[in-house]
Amino acid sequence: MTQTLDHKSTLSRLAIDCRGVTKTYGKGESEVVALRGVDIQIGMGELLMLVGPSGCGKTTLISVIAGILDRDGGHCEVFGRDYMKMSSRERTRWRGEMIGFVFQSFNLLPTLTAAENVSVPLLINGMKRSKAVAKAKDVLARVGLGERSKSLPSQLSGGQQQRVAIARALVHEPKLIVCDEPTSALDHDTGHKVMDLFKQVAVGEDRALVVVTHDQRIFSFADRIARMDDGHIESIQDKKDVSTNLHE
Ligand SMILES: Nc1ncnc2c1ncn2[C@@H]1O[C@H](COP(=O)(O)OP(=O)(O)OP(=O)(O)O)[C@@H](O)[C@H]1O
Ligand SMILES: [Mg+2]
């Protein structure tokens, strides 16, 4: 009896529960199997980093977790919900409130200023424009871009654009933030500041953060590091082992 209760309470604290997740792109000769049965559980309050060689399926996996891409098979629940069981309207609304995503290529809207880009998740969630832009400016200041809120993406450096993308993922205080190489264009100090901010905003009892990265300089922020290879999770290491074993 006790065992059953313990088991249930452990499961209820999971932010993400993926079992046997598969995904194939294309058909016939152009078919690429990107995920071959991924098993990963991520707890509430956890910062999980995902590492692995180019093409091993990292972006595909986090896109499935964020509800941007449909899996082909297996099981995937995020905060106890399965995207495949939601209507497309419900999924869009739920994702808009619960998930923040930092894309590998930033995906900023080129005709909008930095502040307007950052305000998009707030507008989607129904906030009034003036309030949304004011909040976006606050978050831009927290990533060191207070002076650049009126700039267009084309007027910003790669690292500045990356910080706009990060601010956009944080602004609506989502319960899950998923980041694809969030520090790739940042210097050491800025990368650390951004990770500190992620920890403040995104790691809490009812929250979780998943970071795909090659950046060894930020490994120390992880609670666990999952290593992927060829569409699988190959191994998962706890923080205590990170400093000794994970330098690639
Ligand atoms: N839209 C797509 N159409 C077809 N194949 C794709 C598509 N997206 C990814 N792939 C393929 O799926 C596999 C996994 O790609 P994915 O982008 O998930 O890798 P990744 O681990 O994020 O790589 P990187 O470190 O280079 O970003 C690769 O072989 C890739 O070529
Ligand atoms: Mg990728």
Non-local (6+) Cβ contacts of 52 within 8 A are 58, 227, 228, 229, 234
- Mutating to test ligand 1, I would choose from 33, 51, 56 the residue with most ligand atoms within 8 A of its C-beta, which is 56
- CA-26 nearest atom, ligand 1: 4
Distance of CA 56 from the midpoint of ligand 2 (Å): 8
- For position 7, what pLDDT does the model report? 42
What's residue 242's pLDDT? 57
Measure the CA angle with vertex 28, ends 26 and 33; round to 5°. 50
For the Cβ of 23 lying below 6 angstroms from any atom of ligand 1, the answer is no
**Of 90, 89, 68, 47, whose CA–CA distance to 196 is shortest?**
47
Q: Which residue has the tokens 């920890």?
A: 199
Please tell me whether residue 90 adopts helix, strand or coil conformation.
helix
Ligand 1 pocket residue status of 32, Cβ below 6 Å: yes
Name the pTM for this structure.
0.91
Any ligand 1 atom below 6 A from CB of 51:
no
**Mean predicted confidence (pLDDT) in 142-152:** 96
Q: Give the residue whose CA is nearest to atom 25 of ligand 1.
A: 54
pLDDT value at 51 more than 80: yes
Residue-wise pLDDT for 153-209, tens only, equals: 999 999 999 999 999 999 999 999 999 999 999 999 999 999 998 988 888 889 999
The tens digit of pLDDT for each residue in 54-107 reads 999 999 999 999 999 999 999 999 999 999 999 999 999 999 999 999 999 999
Task: Summarize pLDDT for 98-120 with one digit per residue, the tens.
Answer: 999 999 999 999 999 999 999 99
Residue 26 CB–ligand 1 contact under 6 Å: yes
What ligand is nearest to the CA atom of residue 56? Answer: 1
Mean pLDDT over each residue of the chain, to the nearest integer: 91
Predicted confidence at residue 243, as pLDDT, reads 53
CATH code: domain 14-241 is 3.40.50.300
* Spans of all domains in the chain: 14-241
